[in-house]
A and B are shown apart, each in its own frame.
Chain A
């Protein structure tokens, strides 16, 4: 009964390809996030959705497009992958959109672009 799950766990692909990462949470939370952890281990927020609406959109290339079909799912689609996109991408969820409640993280998706 994993709280926040992501698929795939590993993704190896070539430059120029388009790929998607899926995230699901079974915690009943209203807010979901995508974070990127680079090679230096810094975690930075990319997007946040609350009740399927985009509420945080950091300075991220347009090649990244999140989609939330319902409150329990937040997917990340990446077009025209570049070498610099290689990183670990984490999905997270929380009961609120204001950073008041705890955030729960998925296991991460390690993306390698060759």
Chain B
């Protein structure tokens, strides 16, 4: 079973600083990893899906990397803005096709 961990649980940065969010997984046979954003009281918004054959995936100010050998994925958010404040979750499938989620990192960007 895939176990997904996100550390830290919370992060507070001043506006303009780059954000680095970490995600660790136990099963290196992972074939993709998905990053989501969740705003308070809202559903999850898919940000990036990075396949195991890719090392990086980019969308605007977001960049996700995947290192299967170390069991890690990192989400970088460049030049953070107050609107980036949210909880960020990562999720990866296990070999029974079920998606396992981390507990999330709650980000606060201070204006």
Q: Do A and B come from one complex?
A: yes
B99 touches A45 (CB 8 A): yes
Would B42 and A42 count as touching, CB distance under 8 A? no
A residues in contact with B41, CB < 8 Å: 108, 110
Considering only CB atoms and an 8 Å cut-off, how many residues of chain A contact the other chain?
26
Give the total number of A-B pairs whose CB atoms are below 8 A apart. 57
Given contacts A102-B49, A103-B99, contact A90 B31 (CB under 8 A): no
Q: Is the CB of A108 within 8 A of B43?
A: yes
Contact A105 B104 (CB under 8 A): no
Contacts of A40 on B, CB cut-off 8 Å?
103
For chain B, the count of residues having a C-beta within 8 Å of the partner chain is 22
**What sequence of 0s and 1s flags, for each residue 16-49 of chain A, a beta carbon within 8 Å of any chain B beta carbon?**
0000000000000000000000001111110010
Taking the nearest CB of chain A, how far is it from the CB of B98, in angstroms?
5
B42 contacts A108, CB within 8 Å? Answer: yes
Residue of A with least CB distance to B2: A99
Q: Which of A56, A102, A106 contacts B34 (CB 8 A)?
A: A102
B51 and chain A: residue at smallest CB distance: A100
Chain B residues close to A by CB (< 8 Å): 31-32, 34, 36, 41-46, 49, 87, 89, 91, 93, 96-99, 101, 103-104
